[in-house]
């Protein structure tokens, strides 16, 4: 399938599944080395990162746990602008190594806010893993410990990412046709 139509927009194939999975292999390999003995708690930020989290978890050979969180649709205001509240992280994470699993870092605002909220819960360390990163869109100083791949600053769908709720099920990534 080289083109898909979702609602009112056309998208064309830009990153095939094989390439995505090779990137996940590399992230997993790095984590297996660097997080050995740290018993990390992987925190999957829903909805977009469910496919990345699933493929990554299958490749981790170190002891680890996973938990699933969401950001509330309610937005308040904080030091970094709009703040969405992190919901679902109910376990005691004090002293733990947390690895946030994100689908994509675009402007960087979401991940900065999320890291800030997790830090307030007293973990030993908070690391960030993102499947995709748009360096040209991200003007903030964001520390990304694991990046699947850098992509251009275009709107994409697939591999968990959506356009107005649609397209999350696509196994490959598609870019909007302008």
Q: How many residues bind ligand IMP (CB under 6 A)?
A: 12
Enumerate the β-bridge partners of residue 87: 70
Contact of 160 with 168, CB cutoff 8 Å: yes
Within 8 A by CB and 6+ apart from 52, the residues are: 24, 101, 102, 103, 131, 148, 159, 160
Distance of closest approach, residue 89 Cβ to ligand IMP, in angstroms? 17
Which of positions 128-157 make contact with ligand IMP (CB under 6 A)?
A: 155-156
Specify the residue, 26 or 107, whose C-beta has the smaller distance to ligand IMP. 107
Q: Is 125 a catalytic residue?
A: no
Single residue of 161, 170, 172, 174 touching ligand IMP by CB under 6 A? 161
172 binds ligand IMP (CB under 6 A): no
Within 8 A by CB and 6+ apart from 38, the residues are: 62, 97, 125
Which of positions 82-111 make contact with ligand IMP (CB under 6 A)?
A: 103-110
The residue annotated as part of the active site, out of 106, 141, 150, 154, is 106
Specify the residue, 35 or 115, whose C-beta has the smaller distance to ligand IMP. 115
Q: Which positions are annotated as active-site residues?
A: 106
| Residue ranges binding ligand IMP (CB under 6 A) | 48, 103-110, 155-156, 161
């Amino acid at each position: 399938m080289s083109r898909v139509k979702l609602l009112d927009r056309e998208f064309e194939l830009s990153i095939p599944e094989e390439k995505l999975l090779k990137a996940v292999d590399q992230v997993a390999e790095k984590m297996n080395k660097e997080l050995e003995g740290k018993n990390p708690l992987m925190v999957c930020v829903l909805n977009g990162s469910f496919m990345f989290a699933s493929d990554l978890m299958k490749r981790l050979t170190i002891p680890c746990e996973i938990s699933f969180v969401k950001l509330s649709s309610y937005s308040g205001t904080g030091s970094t602008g709009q703040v969405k509240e992190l919901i679902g992280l109910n376990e005691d994470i004090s002293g733990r190594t947390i690895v946030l699993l994100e689908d994509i870092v675009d402007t960087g605002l979401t991940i900065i806010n999320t890291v800030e909220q997790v830090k307030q819960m007293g973990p030993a360390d908070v690391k960030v893993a993102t499947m995709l990163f748009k360096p040209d869109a991200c003007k903030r100083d964001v520390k990304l410990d694991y990046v699947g791949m850098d992509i251009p600053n275009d709107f994409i769908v697939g591999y968990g990412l959506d356009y107005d709720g649609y397209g999350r099920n696509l196994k490959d990534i598609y870019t909007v046709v302008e």
